Amino acid sequence: MDDNGKPQWRCDRCGHPVQETSAHCPECGALFDQPAFCVCHHSREALGVCIICSNPSCEKCGGWVAGRFLCARHAGYEIIENMARVYGDTDFVRLHFAQKCLEQAGLRPFQFSLKQEPAHGVGFGYQNLAHHGGDPHAACEWKILLPFDEVLKGEEVLKELDFIREPGA
């Protein structure tokens, strides 16, 4: 029951609250009772709905990544704390400007970094890259994350600013 005494529906796969009339879970992409068909292969039944673009996809066009369904186009997105990375930079001023532009567009960006400044104690530096697959961005980059349903709009804003050229970059 919710605060108004109405039954609250939850996704069987991830437990996220959903509307009774929802065809899929916006948090994980799980499909509910009614069948859906792949946007690319119209005769194939979809396995799930991409949490970024909301397109249903078959096994050739998408799949489950860390408990969430992503189409092939969005499978490489970095997912942190139920949000997707839309931009990253080592220049904090540039990142802050990008964040303000996203906020002015009505979006809800969240800033995230594993970087720890030396003034705050032992830094998370290059010596720890092995723990992150050797990716220097994991340790040195500030990231802007957006809720899944805001990613496509956020990428358009960042493209207009020439901050990104390709989605997920």
pLDDT beyond 60 at 122: no
Q: Is 44 helix (H, G, I), strand (E, B) or coil?
A: coil
Which of the two residues, 129 and 79, has the higher pLDDT score? 79
Give whole-number Cα distances, 43 to 5, 36, 119, in Å: 41, 10, 58
Q: For the segment 46-60, what is each residue's pLDDT rounded down to a tens digit?
A: 999 999 999 999 999
Is 0.95 surpassed by the pTM of this model?
Answer: no
Q: For the segment 134-157, what is each residue's pLDDT rounded down to a tens digit?
A: 454 455 789 999 999 999 999 999
**Alpha-carbon distance 123 to 57, whole Å?**
42
pLDDT beyond 90 at 2: no
Name, in order, each residue with C-beta under 8 angstroms of 142's C-beta and a sequence gap of 6 or more: 88, 89, 90, 92, 95, 111, 112, 113, 115
Give the H/E segment covering residue 139.
helix 136-140
CA 55-144-95 angle, 5° bins: 140
pLDDT beyond 90 at 93: yes
Angle of the 151-160 helix axis to the 92-104 helix axis, nearest 10: 120
**Domains detected in the chain:** 6-74 (no CATH), 79-160 (3.30.70)
Question: What local confidence, expressed as pLDDT, does residue 8 receive?
Answer: 78
